[in-house]
Amino acid sequence: MSQILEDVKKSGKERAYVMINCEDDSMQYVMDQLKSILGITEIQSTIGPYDIVTKIECSIYNGIERNHHGAHQKGTKS
């Protein structure tokens, strides 16, 4: 088993990185809203094709996919 899978198994958590593009001048608003979402452990602005990268962690038993429903908010592009 790979080291990453071993670490996930030991920690009991899943991780995902989500890249976000924002509408013009809405990046700070989006970052502020992301801070209130349970499971988001890191939020970073970036230079390049994406405006924001977030790190999401949750219990393996809850599942990351449950946390993303309804995540499309004002200020983010589809």
39 touches 58 (CB < 8 A): yes
Is there a domain that residue 38 lies in?
Answer: yes
Q: How far apart are the first and last CA of the chain?
A: 36
Q: Is the pLDDT of residue 49 over 80?
A: yes
CA distances from 57 to 12, 24, 60, 61, 78 (A): 10, 28, 9, 12, 23
Report yes or no: 37 and 71 within 8 Å, Cβ to Cβ: yes
| Residue bearing the bigger pLDDT, 56 or 60 | 56
Taking all residues of the chain, what is their mean pLDDT, rounded to a whole number?
Answer: 78
Number of domains the chain is built from: 1
Query: What band does 78 get if pLDDT is binned at 50, 70 and 90?
Result: very low
Angle 69-75-78 (CA atoms, 0-180°, nearest 5)? 55
Task: With a cut of 60, say whether residue 56 has pLDDT above it.
Answer: yes
Q: Provide the residue range defining the domain that includes 38.
A: 16-63
1 occurs within a structural domain: no
CATH number of the domain to which 28 belongs: 3.30.70.920
Question: Does 25 score more than 80 pLDDT?
Answer: yes
Choose between 5 and 23: higher pLDDT. 23
pTM for the model: 0.64
